[in-house]
Amino acid sequence: MVSSAQRDPAEFVALYDRYFRPIYHYLYNRVGSAAEAEDLTAQTFLAALETLPRYHQRGHFAAWLFTIARNKARDFYRTGVSPIPLDENHPDKADDPLSQVIQADQVEQLANLFRKLEEAEQELLRLRYVADLSFAEIGICLGRKEDTVKKTFYRLLARLQRQLEVSHD
Amino acid sequence: MTEFMPFPEFEEKLRLALTTPEPDPVFAQALRSRLSAHMGTPATHRSFHLRPAWGILLGLVLLVILAVLAVGPQRVAAEVQKLLGYIPGFGIVDQNASLRVLEGPVTETRDGITVTVTQAFLTSDKTVLTYTVDGVPWSALSHNENVAGCSPAGVADLHLPDGTLLKSAGGGGTPHEMTFNYPPIPANVNHATFVLPCIMNTLPGLAPENWELSLRFIPAPPNLIIPVIEVSPSPEPQINTAAASKNPLALLKVVDTGDNYVLLGEFRPSEAQDQSLPAGSYWSLTDPVTITDAEGRDVFIYTSPNDPNLHLPYDQTDAEPWAYQIGKTFDPPLTITYTGRYTIPADPTAQAEFTFDTGTNPQPGQEWVLNQDFELAGHRIRLVSIQMLSQSGYGFSFESSDPAVQTVNVDISGYLPNGRGEPEGGNAGLTPGKWSIELLDFDELPKGKLNVVLSNLTLYGEFKTWQVQWSPETAQPGSPSLYGISLAVDKYIPLDDGYYLLGHTDWADGRIASAAPGEWALKAYDAKGQEVALEPADWQDAGLTPEANQWLYRLYGKSFNAQLTLRATQMEVAFKQPVKLTLDMRSYGFDGSDAQLGLVWKFGGIPLDVPGLGASVFKVIYIKQGELKGFEIVINADPALQGLPFTIESGLNTAGMATVNSGGGSSWDETSGLVFTVLTDAKITFPLVLSASGATVNATWETTWNPPPR
């Protein structure tokens, strides 16, 4: 798909279709506003379209694209705009009302814990759960070894799980 | 060490915690169209990025720029003199040009899906055609990001009788409405066939394909073109707060479209250069553009009309064209403000070098912690570490306690990267004082002993504000009266403790059927500005019978300082033609199930034809109140529009119902805009047609009255 798009820009739309939602969700999570996420998503794809000829096919297009998105988000904050807290309403999926309440409560606590994390830690979770990148791709984005990313990630998850359990004791 | 493996449920909760709303499908499609249009065009550097609203507005109304592109700057002035007419849906035209239009909308329905060619404009330069698609079931659309629906093959062609095929020359729109430009159709050809291979984003076999609609063109009626008064900016505005030689913000033209003004101008980055700053300094926008009135109040900027001739490739010119459409009820002069900041290169000759040894076999992810300090042009920065990146390159992490430092250039002598990451990240990024530079995609990875050069340190400069002002040539102090509404006191009836004041309301706008002050929105003030008690009076108590457009108030007290000013701040107006909104949520996956309660659908802005005031629907939420279900509809509107009570005109299946309960109302919300609800206990069918016969509007209307001598 990427090679086709490099040969024929008209094929880029297929890449857009593949990556539009992950990029949007990632940027929304970063900036907390639909309008800004739309703006940055547009900037990301326009930049990707312009620089695609310079992309060297290494099988990690997603990492390359998310690197652009990260740069755009960084530029956004460089303008002095403060991040907007994400909507605190999260969907719940449990069936019975009690489970719904408990699960929604835990999800809410996790969202709070997420907001208190270091930016680098937030980014790790974001790239994994919002952007749906593989550990290898996250490694490329962050310039870290895949194993390093994986260990850091699981350490972070363990910590979050402990914090969640403590808060329920 | 045993590796921690999280419970799947825990991961699922984390995913939920990080959940963000789904993107607006209209935006997704619009961006897709924009990218499609962008493919094959040369890449250009832009000096600043624009927010979507401004991006949309920039797409607005710029035939001036089209003229630049088409005929070259030398002839622009002459071409502009011809721009005498405006056609909504088309743009600005030469009124003397030969113009043809579609004889009437042409529609075809197959399997519940309706394609309608709604309008076409034919000039000697181009053909512009708009078509709509309704009733596409959610199930026919691609929702899997790995499976592309119909596109770009979905762009319709025009076939002429002699077999000529006219391919689209650009355009776009929403899944519901698309507008495309085509080459001109010869003057002697009055028929064409509209050929649509497939419906946008539908999957093969799930929606009818190969649509063909026969079109017939006729000469445009003489009243089609709205006269446009081109107003010269008055005078050349030059509020220049920087030491630059010229104001880079220029207002070039103002078009009076009747209800609105369209302000056309451009920002010229080269003229924003401050000669007192070192060469290479540049200014870039940091805040949203604002337009304010004489009192400093924000003036509402409308979303752009969908005029494809005004959606121009603005990034192909050195200047940054802009267009802002505003209403007319502002207190002049207007001030357009651009706020931004300079980036200043420090001493360009200042550089620092060091040798860095990666070893013979550096590995991706490998990190070298240096914590090495450098001083460039008197500014201290620290290179904290270098990491090898998987993208055949290296990342350099910096920090500096100097708030003036923005960023620094990094090079590896003898090697040229194909890409640079976060070159604009800078010191004011996510973590103040820290930033990183990535050199990516080297054809051959540099390794071993490398000479690294730090150069071109850039600094943050002053914030600068650029402004232009403009007043309509006929401007009077104060805001023009919305709808030309005026108040008059016709008679008074003395009372022991005051007066009955009988008056009436007039209006000049032919689209208005009636206007009356909001019941408690009329207030009285004496000559010193002190409020005098005034309240709506009962006609029977006063022994009077109301006539059309009359109002009756009771004024308390007689010992006030004449003259009295009666001021209304809110008016209830009725329209001769109701404002209509047609919603078809089927194409957005609405199924009416309770599972969808609370779901939000966002639109790019469905324009509402509210006389004199800009308004467009941008969000719809499925809601339930008691036994009634319906929609909360959020409108981005001129703040003057405070209420727009819609009722359901059609779209309810009331079969078997003895009574239909419904409810609703509208209100202004400072954060959301104008919000109204439509609720019913009947089954909603689509299209749902809503209608508002009047509105509540805010503005200021005044009249005076002199009480009799005492």
Contact A158, A108 (CB under 8 A): no
Contact A124, A152 (CB under 8 A): yes
Determine which of B4, B12, B18, B39 to mutate to test the interface with A (most A C-beta atoms within 10 Å). Answer: B18
**A88 found inside a domain:** no
Domain count, chain A: 2
**B533 found inside a domain:** yes
Which chain B positions have a beta carbon within 8 Å of A78's beta carbon? 424-426, 428-429
Contact between chains at B32 and A20 (C-beta distance less than 8 A): yes
Please tell me if residue A44 touches chain B, with a CB cutoff of 8 Å.
Answer: no
B599 plus B556 within the same structural domain: no
Residue of B nearest to A118 (CA): B431
Residue A53, pLDDT score: 66
Q: Is the pLDDT of residue B213 over 90?
A: yes
Contact between chains at B35 and A70 (C-beta distance less than 8 A): no
A64 plus A125 within the same structural domain: no
Contact B245, B178 (CB under 8 A): no
B630 plus B554 within the same structural domain: no
**What's the full length of chain B, in residues?**
710
Highest-confidence segment of B44-53, B288-297, B445-454? B445-454
Contact B192, B129 (CB under 8 A): no
**Residue that terminates a domain, selected from B223, B246, B264:** B223
pLDDT band (50, 70, 90) for residue A85: very low
Can you list the pairs that B247-252 forms with residues at least 24 positions away whose Cβ atoms lie under 8 Å? B247/B271, B247/B466, B247/B468, B248/B272, B248/B283, B248/B466, B249/B336, B249/B338, B249/B466, B249/B467, B249/B468, B250/B468, B251/B336, B251/B468, B251/B470, B252/B64
**A89 found inside a domain:** no
Least confident interval from A91-105, B253-267, B398-412, B687-701: A91-105
Least confident interval from B84-88, B459-463, B525-529: B84-88
Least confident interval from B81-95, B528-542, B664-678, B681-695: B81-95
B20-71 residue pLDDT tens: 877 877 778 778 777 776 664 333 222 222 223 223 222 222 222 222 233 3
**What's the full length of chain A, in residues?**
169
Which chain A positions have a beta carbon within 8 Å of B52's beta carbon? 35, 38-39, 42
Q: How many CB pairs under 8 A join A and B?
A: 206
Contact between chains at B52 and A74 (C-beta distance less than 8 A): no
B612 plus B556 within the same structural domain: no
Token reading at B619: 């969000």
B159 plus B214 within the same structural domain: yes
**A58 found inside a domain:** yes
Higher local confidence (pLDDT), B119 or B559: B119
Query: Of A12, A49, A103, which is closest to B13 when you measure between CB atoms?
Result: A103
**A49 found inside a domain:** yes
**B467 found inside a domain:** no
Spatial distance between the Cα atoms of B275 and B249, rounded to a whole number of angstroms? 17
Q: How far is A1 from chain B (nearest CA, A)?
A: 11
- Segment holding A148, helix H or strand E: helix A146-168
Determine which of B19, B29, B46 to mutate to test the interface with A (most A C-beta atoms within 10 Å). Answer: B19
Please tell me if residue A77 touches chain B, with a CB cutoff of 8 Å.
Answer: yes
B683 plus B582 within the same structural domain: yes
The DSSP code sequence of B396-409 is EEEE-S-TTEEEEE
**B178 found inside a domain:** yes
Written as one letter, the residue type at A39 is: D
Taking only residues 115 to 144 of chain A, the set having a beta carbon closer than 8 angstroms to any beta carbon of chain B reads 119, 125-126, 129-130, 136, 139-140, 143-144
- In 3D space, the residue among B521, B613, B598, B629 whose CA is nearest the CA of residue B567 turns out to be B521
Least confident interval from B200-209, B444-453, B603-612: B603-612
B134 plus B198 within the same structural domain: yes
Residue B511, pLDDT score: 94
Residue B491, pLDDT score: 92
Residue of A nearest to B43 (CA): A50
pLDDT band (50, 70, 90) for residue B351: very high
Handedness of CA A59, A61, A66, A67 (dihedral sign): positive
Residue B318, pLDDT score: 61
The DSSP code sequence of B282-332 is EEEE-S--EEE-TTSPBPPEEPPP--GGG---GGGSSSEEEEEEE-S---S
**B452 found inside a domain:** no
Q: Is the pLDDT of residue A121 over 60?
A: yes
Query: Of A13, A147, A148, which is closest to B35 when you measure between CB atoms?
Result: A13
Written as one letter, the residue type at A122 is: Q
Query: Of B53, B287, B429, which is closest to A78 when you measure between CB atoms?
Result: B429
Which chain B positions have a beta carbon within 8 Å of A79's beta carbon? 286-287
Highest-confidence segment of A3-12, A152-161, B413-422, B662-671? A152-161
A15 plus A57 within the same structural domain: yes
A108 is in which domain, residue-wise?
97-168
Q: Is the pLDDT of residue A120 over 90?
A: no
The DSSP code sequence of B342-359 is EEEE--TT-EEEEEEE--
B155 plus B188 within the same structural domain: yes
**A51 found inside a domain:** yes
A53 plus A121 within the same structural domain: no
Mean of the per-residue pLDDT values of chain B: 79
**A68 found inside a domain:** yes
Residue of A nearest to B284 (CA): A79
A103 plus A61 within the same structural domain: no
Least confident interval from A15-24, B56-65, B237-246, B317-326: B56-65
Kindly report the number of other CB atoms within 10 A of residue B671's CB atom. Answer: 5
Q: For residue A153, what is the domain's CATH number?
A: 1.10.10
Residue B482, pLDDT score: 87
Q: Is the pLDDT of residue A1 over 60?
A: no
**A84 found inside a domain:** no
Q: Is the pLDDT of residue A35 over 60?
A: yes
pLDDT band (50, 70, 90) for residue A169: very low
Residue B502, pLDDT score: 94
B547 plus B591 within the same structural domain: no
A72 plus A112 within the same structural domain: no
Determine which of A17, A33, A160 to mutate to test the interface with B (most B C-beta atoms within 10 Å). Answer: A17
Query: Of B365, B419, B431, which is closest to A139 when you measure between CB atoms?
Result: B365
Q: Which residue has the tokens 């194993």?
A: A147
A105 plus A70 within the same structural domain: no
Which chain A positions have a beta carbon within 8 Å of B390's beta carbon? 60, 63, 136, 139-140, 143
Higher local confidence (pLDDT), B435 or A101: B435
B205 is in which domain, residue-wise?
97-223
**Span B442-461, mean pLDDT?**
90
pLDDT band (50, 70, 90) for residue B146: low
**B55 found inside a domain:** no
Query: Of A10, A129, A161, which is closest to B18 when you measure between CB atoms?
Result: A129
Token reading at B400: 């500096």
Domain count, chain B: 4
Spatial distance between the Cα atoms of B512 and B574, rounded to a whole number of angstroms? 6
Contact between chains at A74 and B152 (C-beta distance less than 8 A): no
Least confident interval from B294-308, B360-374, B485-499: B294-308
Least confident interval from A26-35, A57-66, B496-505: A57-66
Which chain B positions have a beta carbon within 8 Å of A100's beta carbon? none
Please tell me if residue A159 touches chain B, with a CB cutoff of 8 Å.
Answer: no
